[in-house]
Amino acid sequence: QVQLVESGGGLVQTGGSLRLSCAASGRTFSRYAMAWFRQAPGKEREFVARITGSGGSTYSADSVKGRFTISRDNAKNTVYLQMNNLKPEDTAVYYCHATLRLVTKTYEYWGQGTQVTVSS
């Protein structure tokens, strides 16, 4: 069982920046691919960015590409989402997600979410 705790959300002006953190429990953090999702009120949850266990590969959604950067520090069991040039449409609850893919089964975990509000 992996527990994920997000932090760093808050209120920011358009064009501002925030860095979200997701702290994971356990001693096998590097085995998990990590990702960020977000969900705005009345909308479906959408993918934001992902990173491999080693941190060697990342991918982000077109909507945030060039503005958001996902990274991880396996020594700290933490994944980050650096958000720059924030826009009102980035307003959402941001969720941390962990995936462990085994030959027998895939394990997935979600954090509780952290609110990001971008004001005009």
pLDDT in tens, 90-113: 999 999 999 999 999 999 999 999
Q: Given this model, what pLDDT does residue 27 score?
A: 80
Distances in Å between the alpha carbon of 56 and those of 7, 34, 53, 59?
23, 12, 8, 11
**Side-chain-side CA neighbours of residue 56 (13 Å):** 4
Nearest-5° Cα angle at 13, 7 to 16: 70
Q: What are phi and psi of 78, to 5 degrees?
A: -135, 140
Number of Cβ within 10 Å of residue 96's Cβ equals: 27
Rounded to whole angstroms, the Cα distance separating 112 from 120 reads: 26
Which tokens in the block code for residue 38?
Answer: 């977000």
Q: Is 12 strand, coil or helix? A: strand
- CA 109/CA 24 separation, integer angstroms: 10
Mean pLDDT of the chain: 96
Give the per-residue pLDDT at 102.
Answer: 92
In this predicted model, what pLDDT tens digit does every residue of 46-81 receive, in sequence order? 999 999 999 999 999 999 999 999 999 999 999 999
Among 120, 60, 56, 51, which residue's Cα sits nearest to residue 91? 120
